[in-house]
Each structure stands twice: as C-alpha cells, then as structure tokens.
C-alpha cells in the first residue's frame, strides 16, 4: 500500500492539487515576467512609432508604422559619439579601479588575523549610513585638483563600503580556511595565495561587483554635471540630457507646422535616447546573470 502511494506521487503521476499548484506557479511567473519585460518592450516600439500613435493609445505590442526619425536625428549629433566613447572609457577604467580597490579590501577584512579588524569594519560601515554631503565632497574634489579631469569620475568614488562588505562575506563563506593552511604548508605567501588561489575561485564576486560598478558608472550623469564643464569630457548620459534640453528650448521659439514637427522629433528622440543609452548594459547583463544571482545570495548570508 505504501509503495503504491509513493509510486503515485513520483514521476508523472500527480494529483489534481499538484497540477493546480504547478499551473498557479507558472502563471504567476509568466505574469511577473510580462510585468517586467513589457515596459522595456514598450520603450523600444515607441522609439520606432509616431508620437501621435503612442499618445492616442494605438501602440501596444507593435508599431503602427516603423519610423527611424528619432534615431536618425539623435545619431546626427556629433557629441553623441564623443559621449559614447567617454562613457565606455569611464566604465572600463572605473570598473578596473573599483575591483583593484574593493576586492583586496574585502579579502583583508575577511582574514581573522587582521589586527583591528572589528574597528576597521565599523569604519567602513559608517559611510553607508552617514554621508559627507555634496558641498564638502565638491570642496575635497576641487582641492585635489580633479575638477574637469578624466579622473574625477573614476577615482573619488571608486571605494564602495557596500561592495567591500559583500566581498568580505563572500570570502568568509566561500573560501575554506583549510585552503590557506595547505598553501602555507607549500610555502605560499599571503599575496601569492590571494593572486593564484583566491582570485581564480572568486569569479562570481568579481563579476557581480564589476557589473554593479559598470552599471553605476554607465548611468551616472549627476556627478558629471557637478564636476565636469568641459564638453569633450562629458559622458553619454549628460550629452543626451543636453540634447533633449536644447530640443525643448527650440520648441519654445518655434510655431505652426515647424513646432509640431519639432515636437514629434523631440518625443521620438526621448525614446531613442533611452534605448541607445541602455542597450549596451542590457546586452552585457545576460552573460553575467548567473554571477549576479550568486552575488545577491552572498549578501543575504547572516554572519
């Protein structure tokens, strides 16, 4: 009798309650996926659609008529290409510097033999809750001579207390202490152990912190607006903001058919700017998704 019950519960023999539960789970998962994906898809199709069709509610899942006017007008701007190049350089250099700073700091805090480890950890935790403010930060950056330079977007904000704590948690939970003991027996020093054994086993946290940093730098525009006035050093997000603001100012001086045409192009350029600015990160994310999920789980471990 017991064997028959177990046989019914296993394999494809499911009760109607199990099937209803499975269908409910799949239905909720599909609904959540649509809620997340549809706004992104709507931005894409709106960038190829006439603004009148979008405002009238005629665009839902496919454009009424494919139009490339927004992308053509946006890519005609020469400053777009300079902003793209600047943002790519800022993201690459800033991500490398952040990894060089935060990963060793997190590893050092994970070591039990570190003198004053508790107080150093508290020192790192304080900036997570208390910030210095915009004006003191601006004065520090100015006194360091970083205003209107390439390094102002990659050096002052490269240290992240949150990333350091996440890296520390990862090293504590994922790198066994016995590995360090075995390395010591073989005559391996601390630096060599970190470079040749710890880092190859830490691809997950490297990818996670690298992705977080890259996304933050890529989407950053406020820091550039505050610290950079040189147009040749401005990143893509700030360049797009300037283009959209200049289009709005042109609308105020135009009238008649010219005003309606400028308004149509301005609306299409807004959607095109969103797609252009987010496309590289969206293409990069699927390759690092599994590491991103691991990084989120690392942060949930209670010590």
Q: What is the pLDDT of residues 87-115, one digit of tens each?
A: 999 999 999 999 999 999 989 888 888 88
- Per-residue pLDDT at 303 exceeds 70: no
Sign of the CA dihedral running 193, 197, 201, 202: positive
- Cβ atoms of 102 and 167 within 8 Å: the answer is yes
Pick the more confident residue, 293 or 182: 182
Q: Rounded to whole angstroms, how far apart are CA atoms 47 and 272?
A: 5
Per-residue pLDDT, averaged over 247-266, amounts to 66
pLDDT-derived band at 302 (thresholds 50, 70, 90) equals: very low
- Residue 11, pLDDT > 80, answer no
CA distance 70 to 75: 9
User: How many C-beta atoms surround the C-beta of residue 245 within 10 A?
Assistant: 10
Q: Is residue 293 scored above 70 in pLDDT?
A: no
How much is the pLDDT for 41?
85
Residue 161 CB neighbours (<10 A): 17
pLDDT value for 92: 92
Task: Give the phi and the psi of residue 212 in degrees, each rounded to 5.
Answer: -60, -45
Mean pLDDT of 240-259: 68
Predicted confidence at residue 22, as pLDDT, reads 85
Q: Which residues contact 245 (CB under 8 A, 6 or more apart)?
A: none
Q: How far apart are CA 26 and CA 194, in angstroms?
A: 44
Percentage of the chain surpassing pLDDT 90?
6
Longest distance between any two alpha carbons in the chain, whole Å: 86
Cβ–Cβ < 8 Å for 61, 210: no
Q: What percent of the chain has pLDDT over 70?
A: 85
pLDDT at 53: 73
| Range 261-266 average pLDDT | 72
d(CA 106, CA 98): 12
SS3 category, 42? helix
- Phi/psi-derived region of residue 256, left when phi > 0, alpha when psi is between -120 and 50, beta in every other case: left
List the Cα angle 76/243/153 in 5-degree steps. Answer: 105
Is it the case that residue 8 has pLDDT exceeding 60? no
Q: Which of 77, 84, 49 is nearest to 63 (CA)?
A: 49
pLDDT confidence bin for 2, thresholds 50/70/90 = very low
pLDDT digit string (tens) for 155-190?
888 888 888 888 888 888 888 888 888 888 888 888
> What is the per-residue pLDDT for 1?
46
Mean pLDDT of 140-163: 88
194, 104 in Cβ contact below 8 A?
yes
**Which residue in the block uniquely carries the two structure tokens 């996926």?**
33
Tokens of 64: 């009424």
Instruction: Encode pLDDT of 43-74 as tens digits.
Output: 888 888 877 777 777 778 888 778 887 788 77
Residue 256 Cα distances to 77, 227, 247, 251, angstroms = 25, 39, 16, 10
Which of 69-73, 92-96, 235-239, 248-252 has the least mean pLDDT? 248-252
Q: Determine the pLDDT at residue 254.
A: 58
Residue 300 has pLDDT above 60, yes or no: no
Residues whose CB is less than 8 angstroms from the CB of residue 74 and which lie 6 or more positions away in sequence, other chains included: 80, 243, 269, 272, 273, 276
């Amino acid at each position: 009798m017991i064997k028959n019950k177990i046989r019914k519960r296993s394999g494809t023999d499911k009760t109607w309650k199990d099937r209803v539960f499975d269908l409910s789970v799949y239905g909720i998962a599909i609904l959540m996926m649509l809620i997340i994906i549809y706004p992104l898809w709507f931005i894409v199709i709106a960038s190829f659609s006439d603004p009148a069709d979008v405002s009238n509610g005629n665009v839902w899942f496919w454009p009424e008529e494919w139009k490339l006017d927004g992308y053509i007008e946006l890519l005609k701007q020469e400053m777009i290409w300079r902003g793209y190049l600047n943002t790519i350089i800022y993201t690459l250099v800033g991500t490398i510097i952040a990894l060089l700073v935060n990963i060793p700091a997190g590893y050092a805090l994970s070591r039990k033999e570190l003198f004053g480890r508790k107080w150093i950890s508290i020192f790192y935790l304080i900036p997570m809750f208390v910030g210095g403010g915009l004006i003191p930060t601006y004065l520090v950056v100015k006194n360091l001579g970083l205003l209107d330079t390439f390094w102002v977007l990659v050096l002052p904000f490269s240290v992240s207390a949150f990333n350091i704590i996440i890296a520390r948690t990862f090293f504590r939970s994922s790198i066994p202490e016995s590995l360090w003991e075995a390395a010591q027996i073989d005559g391996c020093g601390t630096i060599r152990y970190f470079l040749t054994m710890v880092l190859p086993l830490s691809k997950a946290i490297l990818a996670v912190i690298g992705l977080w940093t890259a996304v933050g730098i890529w989407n950053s525009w406020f820091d550039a607006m505050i610290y950079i006035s040189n147009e040749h050093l401005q990143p893509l997000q700030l360049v797009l903001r300037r283009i959209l603001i200049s289009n709005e100012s042109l609308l105020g001086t135009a009238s008649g058919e010219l005003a309606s045409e400028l308004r149509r192009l301005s609306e299409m350029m807004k959607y095109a700017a969103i797609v252009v600015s987010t496309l590289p990160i969206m293409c990069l994310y699927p390759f690092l998704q599994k590491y991103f999920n691991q990084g989120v789980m690392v942060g949930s471990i209670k010590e």
